[in-house]
Amino acid sequence: MAKDIFVFIEGKDEGVRKSSIELLSKAKGITKNHNSTTYGILIGPKSEEMVDTVRPYPDKLIVVRGDGLDEYRWDTYTPILERLIKTYRPFLFLGPSTITGKDLFPRLAARLGAAYISDATGIEFEGEEALVKKAMFGGKIISWMGINEKDCALVTFRPNSFSIDRPSGMAEVIEEMGDGKSEEAITVLETKKTMEKKVDLQEADFIICGGRGMKGPEQFGIIEEIASLMEGRVGASRAVVDAKWRDYEDQIGKSGKTVSPKLYIGCGVSGALHHTMGMDTSKVIVAINKDPNAPIFQYADYGIVDDLFDVLPALKEELKKLKEQAG
């Protein structure tokens, strides 16, 4: 079986999610070594700019067009992808561990009866065998899972798992038609957008996360300022979201979002397992907590045992100075 790889390309407004480009870049590196093909799969592109943005990354780009396909829906996208996988028979189908990926991939795996690994953070090859890296038990264990499927296996990866290589080439575009009519008796009556944040939490390189130690919603102003100085995003623990200090879309953890930024700073976050499951693969973790025994310090690369209300103003001032120096 040829080691061709499919990559699901997820749109965002009129553009393409960075995590999709990361996956295309990684897949291309793999298929180059196996003399096989990376296919990008783009369903219902909202603009031709989306097609142009992704074209330099895969070897081939399958663009599926049809009425009603411009918004993701599991009931229309799943049968299209099932058909494409059965036709092209790739060895792997990669996608992002975003809300869409987490909805789509398990459904598709069930339809295909295929193996599925969620929330992975790496992939390597030992000879012909693909090994997928995944953190388990809140990051206490790093597992490597071998794929020995004859048929296509599905894997979703946390955003920021791979770097983006400089693209080389221009993919051949394969046009396919798809049916945007639902197989199920579901009609979407209205879609409402929540307030748009400048940087997507799952794709942010920098996240400063507030926990219950922040004491109240009004104290989040300072971490908003730090996030803005660092061009990053504010995250929150579930305790904070449950207390209605922040919106659910900011929640990191088991019942929130999984993130993997280059730098995560936890402020007054205890580091409960349900929280760390969502941030344990951050590249550098800094914890600010006045309790030296807080579990978050077991995950932290740098720990500050102090009152966050003393540390954060000092941090903000230093960042401002650095920003001014940098001009």
Contact residues for ligand FAD (CB under 6 A)? Answer: 211-213, 237-240, 251-256, 268-270, 272, 274-275, 278, 288-291, 294, 307-309
| Stretch (H or E) spanning 79 | helix 74-88
Lookup: tokens for 246? 């922040």
Lookup: tokens for 203? 């794709």
- Tell me the Ramachandran region of residue 324: left when phi exceeds 0, alpha when psi lies from -120 to 50, beta otherwise: alpha
Minimal distance in Å, beta carbon 206 to ligand FAD?
18
Minimal distance in Å, beta carbon 213 to ligand FAD?
3
d(CA 296, CA 273): 9
- Compare residues 12 and 254 and give the one whose CB is closer to ligand FAD: 254
**Nearest-CB residue for ligand FAD:** 253
d(CA 243, CA 97): 27
d(CA 306, CA 288): 7
- Compare residues 30 and 259 and give the one whose CB is closer to ligand FAD: 259
d(CA 61, CA 55): 7
Minimal distance in Å, beta carbon 215 to ligand FAD?
7
Minimal distance in Å, beta carbon 125 to ligand FAD?
33
d(CA 108, CA 81): 8
- Compare residues 19 and 237 and give the one whose CB is closer to ligand FAD: 237
Minimal distance in Å, beta carbon 203 to ligand FAD?
18
- Compare residues 97 and 251 and give the one whose CB is closer to ligand FAD: 251
- Compare residues 74 and 248 and give the one whose CB is closer to ligand FAD: 248
Lookup: tokens for 228? 């803005």
- Compare residues 55 and 275 and give the one whose CB is closer to ligand FAD: 275
Q: What is the length of the chain?
A: 327
Minimal distance in Å, beta carbon 222 to ligand FAD?
12
- Tell me the Ramachandran region of residue 215: left when phi exceeds 0, alpha when psi lies from -120 to 50, beta otherwise: left
d(CA 37, CA 108): 21
